[in-house]
Amino acid sequence: MTSTTQTTDLTESAPTESALTAELRDNALAALERLGAQVPVPDADEQGLPVVSPLSGETLLTLPRAGAAEVDAAVGRAAEAFTTWRSVPAPVRGQVVKRLGELLTEHKADLAQLVTLEAGKITSEALGEVQEMIDICDFAVGLSRQVGGRTMPSERPGHRLMETWHPLGVVGVISAFNFPVAVWSWNTAVALVCGDAVVWKPSEKTLLSAIGSAALLDRALTEAGFPAGVSQLVLGEREAGEALVADPRVALVSATGSERMGAQVAPVVAARMGRLLLELGGNNAAIVAPSADLDLATRGIVFSAAGTAGQRCTTMRRLIVHESVVDDVVARLARAYEGLPVGDPRAEGTLVGPLVDAGARERMVASLEEAVADGGQVVAGGAVVDVPGAAGAAYVHPAIVRMPAQTDVVRRETFAPILYVLTYSTLDEAIALQNDVPQGLSSSIFTMDVREAETFLSEAGSDCGIANVNIGTSGAEIGGAFGGEKSTGGGRESGSDAWKQYMRRATNTVNYSTELPLAQGVNFG
């Protein structure tokens, strides 16, 4: 970590805070202590970063604020550590990641608790996010013994033509609040086995989760005898992010966030000829065909649309239903939504926690008002929910809105639990509606017709990076590459061959003959 590791007593409650906030602070500090993390504190004259929990809407504590100077120092330490780390054999680097996975398994509940306190996820989803970290560590350990190039036939006798892959350098990771630790692990586990160093700027909304995760990686590195400088954490806001993006020593910037953020980051990295991996917005849709298993479809839709309070990049935001079954589907969904328990995400039985802040709630309310003005009808949910003892929090009931057409508000991603329902008469019409948005992350179709399924997956079907059949739009596994097209950014993280983005490729020709034939039969005298 780049911030000071001086500690102090942070348990004294502010006089005007709620009892819930005091409880959340105590729980967070206890979890961090079990994770072996030191909580940095700002200097007396420093305007620190507030840590606000969406469960109460109040500040738990304040942390140091990293700016451009701190980012410069962190990148310098990472660049220096890279010169040693890149020469460590990949299987040995994999053992560090293996140890990280073991520590995550040991402290799964502690880290999940921080994710719930900072991102508002219900306990099962928070535990699932940490499990995702464990899974990517397993994947990366296997990868550490498989990363490599290939040998191709040479047209010249006595020559060998091959490609080799080498560590890239410093990787800058900018993560979002909604997956505060999993996205970091997707990048970091793979980058480490590829021989890269990592500088992480987490969302300013989820700093404690980042501190806990970084502490476990530092421990894994230290136990293996490697410098913690391979992994750097900077706790900052826009200034820190801008400095990380602009630094020419950062070979790859992997940034997760809004389309607006991506449009600002991309030209800066391109201007210095750096590499860019963007995971941005998703206006994800599912098509429900006449042949669909409606019981299965209902379960898949409800989780994808209402899970994580609609704050996943893969959240289902549009539902395109055949006109012959739309009334039945909407009725089923409305009944399911009526029974969704909204409240404290730590409570047993809760399925929908809070939005991240009041601003997110205001944007949801504004989008619903715009949808109604466009002729939409709210058929379920949409109300603000008051949770006792959490007056500053932003709880809402997920909403279903039937729309007469795909208007501007439908084509624009609102990061909240709003599901817009549209109708179609032909599959071509449904696919056109699915693709007629700027974003291209995730999509799905519910059908028992193999022709419809295959058409949806074909070159004439979904234009998204993820296209599913008979499951929802969310819940991707780490074994496949994760990412999307169009304004989603085109990046790919996690599994498959996404590792290639974290390495540089070299093409090699070896002449082991006594002659010097030229390629393409050129005769140079």
What is the tens place of the pLDDT at every residue in 438-496?
999 999 999 999 999 999 999 999 999 999 999 999 988 999 999 999 999 999 999 99
Q: Mind listing the pLDDT tens digit for each residue in 327-383?
A: 999 999 999 999 999 999 999 999 999 999 999 999 999 999 999 999 999 999 999
Determine contact, residues 204/175, Cβ cutoff 8 Å: no
Q: Band of the pLDDT at 525, cuts 50, 70, 90?
A: confident
4 in any annotated domain = no
Banded pLDDT at 46 (limits 50, 70, 90) = confident
CA distance 402 to 522: 68
Q: How many CB atoms lie within 10 A of CB 247?
A: 22
How high is the pLDDT of residue 44? 82
Question: Is residue 334 located within the same domain as residue 354?
Answer: yes
Using left for φ > 0, alpha for ψ between -120 and 50, and beta otherwise, residue 521 falls in left
For the cut 70, the answer to whether the pLDDT of residue 13 exceeds it is: no
User: Residue 264: what pLDDT?
Assistant: 97
Identity of residue 6: Q
Residue 133 has which token pair?
Answer: 């970290």
Work out the pLDDT band at 12, boundaries 50, 70, 90: very low
The answer to whether residues 41 and 150 belong to one domain is: no
Query: What average pLDDT does the chain have?
Result: 95
CB atoms within 10 A of CB 284: 31
Residue 2 has pLDDT above 90, yes or no: no
Contacts 24+ apart (CB under 8 A), 215-220: 215/32, 215/35, 215/36, 215/37, 215/38, 216/35, 216/36, 216/100, 216/103, 216/104, 216/107, 216/111, 217/100, 217/188, 219/36, 219/103, 220/96, 220/97, 220/99, 220/100, 220/103
Write out pLDDT tens, residues 385-418.
999 999 999 999 999 999 999 999 999 999 999 9
Task: Give the tens place of pLDDT for each residue, 250-265.
Answer: 999 999 999 999 999 9
Check if 464 is active-site. no
Three-class SS of residue 333?
A: helix
pLDDT given at position 17: 86
pLDDT at 156 over 50: yes
49 and 171 part of one domain? no
User: In the predicted model, is pLDDT for residue 67 greater than 70?
Assistant: yes
User: Do 92 and 184 sit in the same domain of this protein?
Assistant: yes
10 in a domain, yes or no? Answer: no
For 459-496, the DSSP string reads TTS--SSEEEESS-S----TTSEE--EETT-S--EEST
pLDDT value at 427 more than 90:
yes
> Is a pLDDT exceeding 50 seen at residue 9?
no
CA 464, 467, 470, 474 dihedral sign is: negative
Domain of 108, in residue numbers: 66-280+489-507
Which range (227-231, 379-383, 504-508) has the least confidence?
A: 227-231
Considering only residues 328 and 2, tell me which one the structure prediction assigns the higher pLDDT.
328
Domain CATH number, residue 452? 3.40.309.10
Contact 418, 380 (CB under 8 A): no
Query: Does residue 396 fall inside a structural domain?
Result: yes
* Predicted local distance difference test score (pLDDT) of residue 10: 41
Q: What is the CATH number of the domain that holds 252?
A: 3.40.605.10
Q: Are residues 292 and 265 in the same domain?
A: no
**Is pLDDT at 45 greater than 90 in this prediction?**
no
Do 79 and 38 lie in one domain? The reply is no
Work out whether the CA dihedral 464, 202, 348, 368 comes out positive or negative. Answer: negative
Residues 339 and 398 in one domain: yes
Q: Answer yes or no: do 341 and 424 share one domain.
A: yes
| Tokens coding 331 | 């009725």
Known catalytic residue at 129: no
Q: What is the pLDDT of residue 307?
A: 97
519 occurs within a structural domain: no
HEC sequence for 99-120: HHHHHHHHCHHHHHHHHHHHHC
Percent share of the chain, pLDDT over 90: 94
Look at residues 28, 45, 62 and tell me which one is the last residue of a structural domain.
Answer: 62
User: Are 71 and 28 contained in the same domain?
Assistant: no
Is position 135 within any domain? yes
State pTM to two decimals. Answer: 0.95
Within-domain flag for 474: no
pLDDT at 228: 84
Considering the candidates 279, 413, 452, 493, report the single residue annotated as catalytic: 279
- Which candidate in 259, 313, 452, 464 is catalytic? 313
How many domains does one find in the chain? 3
Q: At what angle do helices 19-34 and 108-119 cross, to 10 degrees?
A: 150
